[in-house]
Amino acid sequence: MKTNLFIIGLMVFINHFTSWAQNSSPDKIEYQLSTKIISYEGNNIKDINSCELGRNKIEESYWNVAQKKYDSNDLTEQQLDYNFQLEDGAVSNIGIAIDFKINQWDETNMLFVPAALYNGNRFKSISVSYPPYITNEQDKHINMPITVSNIPRLNPSGISEVELLTSNCTTPMLGFYNPKLKRGFILLTDPETNIGESGFYIQENLEKREILLRVMAPGVRKQRYVMCGFVPSNDKGIDMKKGDNVQIRLKLWDFPAKDLAAFYDKCFSIRKSLSGDNIYINRNSFSHTAQTILAHHDKEKWYEDSHQGYICNKPNSDSPFGHIQTGWSGIPVYALPQAICPTEDRVQRIIKSMNALSKIQGKSGLFYAMSRKGALFGDNLNDSKKDSSISLVRRTGLVLYTGLQIREILRVRNDIDKRTLKSWDSMFQKAANGLVNLWKQYGEFGQFIDVETGVPDIFNSTAGAINIGALARAYSIYRTPRYLQIAKEAANHYYDHFLMNGYLGGGPAEILQCPDSESSAEYVESLLTLYEVTGDNSWLEKGKIAAAFFSSWVVSYDYKFPQNSDLGRISAKSTGSVWASVQNEHSAPGIYILSGDFLFKLYRATGDERYAELLKDIVHNVVQYVNMPNNPVIPGGEWGAVSERVNLSDWEGTQGIGMVAKGDSNMAWETVALLSILQNPGIYVQTDTKKILVLDHVEAYIKDKTEKGLLLEIKNPNNESNEISIFSERHADALKPLDFLSYSSWKKIKIGANETILVTIKNNGELNILK
């Protein structure tokens, strides 16, 4: 039976000043809802006028406020649509607000805005300029708290304010988890209304035990966030005349959640409830895109002199960033796509790059951060030459995790000799032992380590998330029990101590310990690696929760880029781009620096379509950021180049929204695109359940199914031929963990430009193209 949701568990009353909705059930979230009209002087609030449903006189103007409520079978959900119409008069520089005032509030409530606030960002903060690094010894002891730069955040006591536009987050969502009531509250709105971009205002008063959550149309901030700080904003209200109106849609959830994991799972499920399904544009095939990027790398991304040679981003640069970076933003990660798609020259370049890498391994087994033509540099970017032995611990994990993949690919194909293999194994085992020793001595991986002494320079954070997967992978190859033991200990510690407190962060070297997407993605990757290596379903269960948390970093809707911007010119779809961190407030093309196939592995194991949709948003849409003749997104850029920025917000100024650096080519993001393409199937099919997931830029449908298999129709809408990877299996096979090199055995079929073909897929995986 349908019920009026506005009164489910609520006491509704109207007084002379405002329209309120207050939860009357003691085991639910108590809040008061009211509507306001705000007048501004510049971007400062001049006056706030409460208004009730119906006709309101405010100064010399008359307003009518209407509310439409929707029925739902979900008793924890309600949708409210508001219409504010100016019936008479004229107003200037005003805004509309819908307020939620919550009493009995305290600091144990975990405030959440996707990609903007994690547990309210209630961390220790220090004021430092970019690139920030903790230099004060008193701030980086072994028991140091999570420490962040000057970002939007709640204070540990007193009064706090946070001002955001919807473009400051990946989903226009505002919520919190109440651990005492074991309930969650989530509010969704549209990114914009008919009068422009909306915003959120949060005011917390811990002394009065209350918080105000406000939805604003338009969003007006006194200050806007910029890198590691704030400046006055240019936001302003709107002018309205008789007959004008403002429409605001809200969806609300007040629901039981036994723990924080249940809260994040709910956020994952409902993130698109207002924005709806996304539209995918087929631009260029996976195979054509990959070939173009690899050709670009063959030509532009190699350095060699009389002493050494290595794959790098900018071989002609004098900056160490352009030469060897270990792991994070460098080799061997840059070499992995070349190992997957080998030529004789690429294999030789990989071997030379690994040899160069072996020369910058410290006595502890951990790797130096950077090297330029033999000179060493550290990760304290303000004095990287002096502190050359200080390195982000994640770098060693990425060297080990990715290097072992390359080792196995080349070993299986007999592309490396025994002597080279032995040398690599010595390097990898030394790295794994270094990580084990670090954990055993300090009970954590820390964040920055002196690679000569093995002593942490900065503790805490989850910068070492990928180290878990790296040690698990090392165990699967070398069968050293302590590798797996430490991987398990670290995985459980990260889950209990960090994730279940709403935090994963500190992964990039230049964000202090701010929450970030890279730490989140690498933790999921590690959990799925543990599941693969051990077959233990507990790691799969933890992986599901970590993936729900990771989804908060992925843009869930298509932002309207300015038409004259670079991304506006190509009608880019922002859905599936991945936010960097709460400090570096931009989205980016894909997962830094992974393929996202952990989502595919979760989809196979669970059948949960949320993982398939999230994977497609990321992997399908990453192609649009590759500079191609029919997709010239980078002005003056080489074909196959990819740039880092997918700017939705004005953190770098409004002039930066939707813009791409002229002539840019960032090998890290080009590698992200390659891995997304090469390590995920173009088409995935379960022959006995008729499940199909199409990631490549083709159209594919199941036309028929028999006991022996199925008939697939594939259409290539592109003007280039395509070689599509197809992975087919039965449902029972999908319940088994996927081998980490499985992509190398997927079947491939060729299809011409603008061609349609029929393909039979038998239950045993055999493919046949019907002429």
Q: What is the DSSP string of 416-473?
A: S-HHHHHHHHHHHHHHHHHHHHHHHHHSS--SEEETTT--EEE--SSTTHHHHHHHHH
In contact, 68 and 1? CB cutoff 8 Å: no
State the pLDDT at residue 721. 95
Residue that the structure tokens 């505002």 belong to: 174
State the pLDDT at residue 210. 97
- CA dihedral of 45, 47, 51, 54, whole degrees rounded to 10: -100
Residue that the structure tokens 């544009």 belong to: 281
State the pLDDT at residue 26. 55
As a 3-state breakdown, the chain gives helix, strand, coil percent values, each rounded to 5, of 30, 30, 40
Q: Which amino acid is at 1?
A: M
Distance CA 186, CA 112 (A): 9
State the pLDDT at residue 72. 86
Distance CA 479, CA 460 (A): 29
In contact, 709 and 687? CB cutoff 8 Å: yes
In contact, 582 and 151? CB cutoff 8 Å: yes
Within a 13 Å sphere around the CA of 25, how many CA atoms are in the beta-carbon half? 13
Q: Give the DSSP letter of residue 7.
A: G
Kindly list the domain boundaries of the chain, sorted by start residue: 5-115+156-270, 277-285+554-678, 683-770
Residue 210, burial from CB neighbour count under 10 angstroms (0-12, 13-18, 19+): middle
State the pLDDT at residue 24. 47
Domain 5-115+156-270 sits in CATH 3.30.870: no
State the pLDDT at residue 166. 98
At 643, give phi and psi (nearest 5°). -110, 165
Rg of the chain over Cα atoms, rounded to whole angstroms, equals 27
Closest of 326, 467, 345, 353 to residue 407, by C-alpha: 353
SS3 332: coil
State the pLDDT at residue 25. 56
Residue 425, burial from CB neighbour count under 10 angstroms (0-12, 13-18, 19+): middle
In contact, 608 and 602? CB cutoff 8 Å: yes
Bridge partner residues of 212 (DSSP):
101, 203
State the pLDDT at residue 717. 97
Q: Which amino acid is at 699?
A: E
Q: Which amino acid is at 291?
A: Q
Distance CA 89, CA 91 (A): 7
Q: Which amino acid is at 687?
A: T
The ranges of the chain with pLDDT < 70 are 1-26, 771
Q: Which H helix or E strand runs over 148?
A: strand 147-148
**Length of the chain in terms of residues written:** 771
SS3 480: coil
Query: What is the full DSSP assignment across 562-619?
Result: -TTSHHHHTT---TT-EE-BSSS--EESSSTT---HHHHHHHHHH--HHHHHHHHHHH
At 442, give phi and psi (nearest 5°). -115, -10
State the pLDDT at residue 706. 85
Contacts of 495 (CB under 8 A, 6+ apart): 542, 545, 546
Within a 13 Å sphere around the CA of 584, how many CA atoms are in the beta-carbon half? 24
Distance CA 50, CA 132 (A): 43
- 124-125 vs 147-148, strand pairing mode: parallel
